[in-house]
Structure 1
Amino acid sequence: MTNLTNYHSHCLYCDGRASMDEFIRFAVSEGFTSYGISSHAPLPFATAWTMERDCMDDYLAEFRRLKEKYADQIELVIGLEIDYLNEESHPGIPYFQKLPLDYRIGSVHMLYNPEGTIVDIDTPADVYRGLVDTHFEGDLDSVIRLYYSRLRRMVELGGFDIVGHADKMHYNASLYRPGLLDESWYDLLVSDYFAEIARRQYIVEINTKAYHTLGTFYPNERYFPLFKELGIRVQVNSDAHYPERINSGRPEALAALKTAGFDSVIEWHQGGWVEVSIQ
């Protein structure tokens, strides 16, 4: 199989379940041509799923060691998945910009509720329902609007290359209220968001992490034709937390992109992002 690349994966420096070396060895064994590690970046407070800031030097040093070790087998790149949290903590701040990274993924996992409490909304659907009811008084519309407003603000501030799981809330929200994705206000909200991404020329990943468990990509496949129309560049990433899942959902995502009219994806080769034909 060709187009064997992945730039969204999490190792033991954050909430991944294997070492950086184990992910890379598996990628080599599967015939990947390039591979990127993108641990969850430090936040202003400790969490169970993000890297601590004082681990950053070790993270970068370990990558340099492995890049040299596997130099004749695979092209390796180093990144971070960086959250937009607020105006003081986002991908564009000087701390993240000064790090010697090859790329950065911008994502939103958390929102502030009306009382100013941080709520992690990247959860299973049943937990998500409880969070909406408890922290936002069951007002799903306001949660959705808040989520996309934070994504839009992240896009405006910049400082990253790839939009991570660009509409991840769609699955949980559509289970909370079936039919949501067909409501005109929601479709307009999301379409305007993708138009802003296109205007600023970010790469959008087709995140395949949930394809075999939930039957969906992030972003939703219904928007792939819009991406083609807007000229958005896309790549396929698995958001893997286990080495054996680095290729999960890739064939299906590439096939869906071809059905939507795409004939190429963005991959990292010879030191930069390039368009590569879908084979």
Structure 2
Amino acid sequence: MTNLTNYHSHCLYCDGRANMEDFIRFAISEGFTSYGISSHAPLPFSTAWTMEWDRMEDYLSEFARLKEKFADKIELAVGLEIDYLNEDSNPAFFRFQELPLDYRIGSVHMLYSPEGKIVDIDTPADTFRQLVDKHFGGDLDYVVHLYYKNLLRMVELGGFDIVGHADKMHYNASCYRPGLLDEPWYDTFVRSYFTAIAERGYIVEVNTKSYYELGTFYPNERYFSFLKELGVRVQVNSDAHYPERINNGRAEALAALKKAGFETVVEWHHGRWEDMRIGSVSFV
């Protein structure tokens, strides 16, 4: 299969389940042509799933060592997945901009409740329901609006290359209220968000992490044709936390993109992002 690349993966520097070298070795064994490591960036507070600032130098040094070690086998790139949390903690923050990274992924995983409590909404659907009921009084519309408001603000501030799992809330929100995705206001909201992304030229990843488990991509496949109309550049990433999952859902995502009219995906080659034609797609 062609287009064997991935730029969204998490190793032991954050919440991944294997070391950096294990991911790279597996990518080589699978025939990948390029690969990127993108650990969760530090936040202003400690969590179980993000890197701490005091590990940043080790992270970059380890990557540099492995890049040299495997230079004749695969092209490697280093990045971070950086959360938009608020005006003072987001991908545009100067400390992230000063790092010698090849790329940055911008994502939203957490929201502030009306009482000012930070709530991680990137959870299983049952947990999401409990969090919305507990911290937001069951007001799903408020949560959806706040989520996209934060995404739009992240897009406005910039400082990143790739939009991570662009509408990841769609699955949990539609489980909370079936039919939500067909409500006109929601569709309008999402289209405005993707239009803002297109205007600023960001890459949108088709995140395949949940495809085998939940049967959905992020963004939702229903918007692939719209992204094509907008001229948005896309790439397929697995958001893998285990080496053996780096290729999950790739063939299905590439086939869906081709069906929507995409002829190319964005890949890292020769030290830069390049548009590469989608080749033949095989299902093994």
TM over 0.5: yes
Unaligned runs of 5+ in 1: none
Q: For residues 258 and 269 of structure 2, what CA distance do their matches in structure 1 show?
A: 21
Q: Does 1:234 align with 2:228?
A: no
- Deviation readout 1:203-225 (Å, 9 max, x if unpaired): 00000000000000000000000
SS at match of 2:111: strand
Q: For residues 51 and 257 of structure 1, what CA distance do their matches in structure 2 show?
A: 33
- Deviation readout 1:70-126 (Å, 9 max, x if unpaired): 000000000000000000000001100000000000000000000000000000000
Look up the match of 2:154: 154
Look up the match of 2:61: 61
SS at match of 1:47: coil
Q: Does 1:19 align with 2:15?
A: no
Unaligned runs of 5+ in 2: 280-284
Q: For residues 183 and 94 of structure 2, what CA distance do their matches in structure 1 show?
A: 39
Look up the match of 1:45: 45
Deviation at 1:22, TM superposition (A): 0.2
Look up the match of 2:167: 167
Map 1:1-279 → 2, pairs under 5 A: 1-279=1-279
Deviation at 1:68, TM superposition (A): 0.4
Q: For residues 250 and 22 of structure 2, what CA distance do their matches in structure 1 show?
A: 20
TM (norm. structure 2) is 0.98
Q: For residues 201 and 222 of structure 2, what CA distance do their matches in structure 1 show?
A: 20
Runs of 4+ in 1 over 4 A off after TM superposition: none
SS at match of 1:195: helix
Q: For residues 98 and 278 of structure 1, what CA distance do their matches in structure 2 show?
A: 34
Deviation at 1:175, TM superposition (A): 0.4
SS at match of 2:266: strand
How many residue pairs get aligned? The number is 279
Q: For residues 17 and 229 of structure 1, what CA distance do their matches in structure 2 show?
A: 38
SS at match of 2:234: strand
Q: For residues 69 and 85 of structure 2, what CA distance do their matches in structure 1 show?
A: 36
Q: For residues 166 and 103 of structure 2, what CA distance do their matches in structure 1 show?
A: 17
